[in-house]
Amino acid sequence: MSERLTSLIRSMPLRLALGLVVLFAAVSLISLAASYVITQRSFEQAIRENLTQDMAGFRAAPSARALAALVEAEARETDPERMILSYLAPTRRHYGNAMIARDDEGYHVVSVAQDSPRLQGRYLALTATLHGGQLTIARSWSEIEALRRVFANILVLSLLPTVLIALWGGLYLARSSARQVRVIGRTLDRLTSGDLEARVGPTRGWSADLAQIGGKIDEMAEAQESSVETLRQVSSDIAHDLKTPIQRVAVHLEDLAGRGDLGPDSRALVERASGELEGIVSVFHALLQIAQIESGSPRARFRPVDLAELCRTFFEIFEPAATESGHRLSLDVPAEGDWQVTGDRTLLGQMLANLIENALRHTPPGTAIEIGLARAGGRICLAVADDGPGVPEAERALVLRRLYRLDRSRTTPGSGLGLNMVQVIATLHDAELALSDNGPGLRVAITF
């Protein structure tokens, strides 16, 4: 789950959505900030103009007494939290609804009402000397502070839902793209593992770019399958076409060997030619059999097969040959348990025989060879392991190819098709073939 979430977070659609969200948020913040600054300055300018007009009205008073009476009359009708009127007459008497007080903490606006409570908030003030006294008019900053709250609400109510909707949309697109990418990934995995019939399939409803990639992958897979099928058909045709001439040559060699007028040297050459021809026949027979298996036709013969019984049978068959060649063949099959798989018993037996013969042929006398059955994660694992020279890790994938042989194996009998046959039979049975180091030696495991 965590891997899928990490993959989703790192997906391109979600990254694009996040990038667009960040870009939109930045543009919106800059736009709102600019609007706020312009609006604040406009409000502040309006307050200053109102203060100037108010001050002009009070300047019209003809005397200090008239000004004091005008201020006192206006102050009775004005809330000091909205507007402050303060006139300090030449007689040092105060008129208005509030006054400026000073203490150790600085200047404060104090109401002239009972108990003289200190007024909170900010004010924009204008002061002038009129008729020997000092007149101060101040308007509250509350409208501008309210403007700040309004813009903050606009930011929350407009930007936050937009960001959440954009993120949800990006997540939806990312999940949709992730499903499409997983389909493509699974198809590529199957193609890489040799399943050339794998296809991405219908891409209706996909994004145009991924649908195009899926279509190109299907085209590539079809071309690759066609090429491989052509090669298989060519090899099969060659094997069929050469099978009859080779058999005729074998008959001619048998007739030649039966003649009584051959000298010892000629007879030896005929025997060597017959032996080489038998090797050629076995190679062509193996190639034809591989072609038949790869066609999938043996699946019609699939039945339940007891691998434990199969292992015991082939152990008994090969134990005398192993003892004769100086090898130590052993069997490690649990006595209890269900070891049945669905498959072709003859092909599974041939697969096991190829593994045992390969170990006997390519390891020196004294090598221990073990046939074993075990369970790995609920799956049945058939393995043949030895403690011989093994196969270098760099060549383990190569030895599964047709006709490939290690340098040290070129002097030993064999066609280079044994392990390839094992792989083909394992693939037919949907089993996994793995070559690993047995420390020392080679371990070949087929997991069903």
Indicate whether 229 belongs to any domain: yes
Final residue of a domain: which of 273, 294, 315?
Answer: 294
Cα separation, 405 vs 422, in Å, equals 15
Location of structure tokens 């407009």: 158
**CATH for 412:** 3.30.565.10
Q: What's the domain range around 67?
A: 1-192
Residue 277 lies in a domain: yes
Distance between CA atoms of residues 61 and 56, nearest Å:
10
Q: What is the mean pLDDT of each run of 10 residues along the chain (448 residues)?
A: 61 70 80 85 88 89 89 86 87 84 65 62 85 88 80 79 77 75 83 77 81 86 79 68 74 74 76 74 67 65 88 91 90 86 88 89 89 87 89 76 52 60 85 87 90
Within a domain: residue 197? no
CATH number at residue 241: 1.10.287.130
Show which of 168, 192, 216 is a domain's final residue.
192
Q: Is there a single domain that holds both residue 165 and residue 274?
A: no
Cα three-residue angle 197-201-204, rounded to 5 degrees: 175
Helix 345-362 and helix 418-428, axial crossing angle in degrees, nearest 10:
150
| H helix count then E strand count, the chain | 10, 13
Is residue 155 domain-shared with residue 187, that is, in the same domain? Answer: yes
Q: Do 286 and 337 fall into the same domain? A: no
Number of structural domains the chain divides into: 3
Distance CA 268, CA 283 (A): 23
The CA-CA-CA angle for residues 245, 250, 253, to 5°, reads 125
Quote the pLDDT of residue 296.
57
For residues 128 and 3, membership in a common domain is answered with yes
Residues 286 and 331 in one domain: no
Is the same domain home to 32 and 159?
A: yes
Report the DSSP beta bridge partners of residue 372.
Answer: 332, 383
Residue 348, domain member (yes or no): yes
Q: What is the pLDDT of residue 382?
A: 92
First to last CA, the chain: 27
- In the prediction, which pLDDT does 411 show? 46
For residue 352, tell me if it sits in a domain. yes
DSSP calls for 229-247: HHHHHHHHHHHHHHHHHHH
Last residue of a domain, one of 130, 163, 192: 192
97 contacts 84 by C-beta, under 8 angstroms: yes
Structural domain includes residue 223: yes
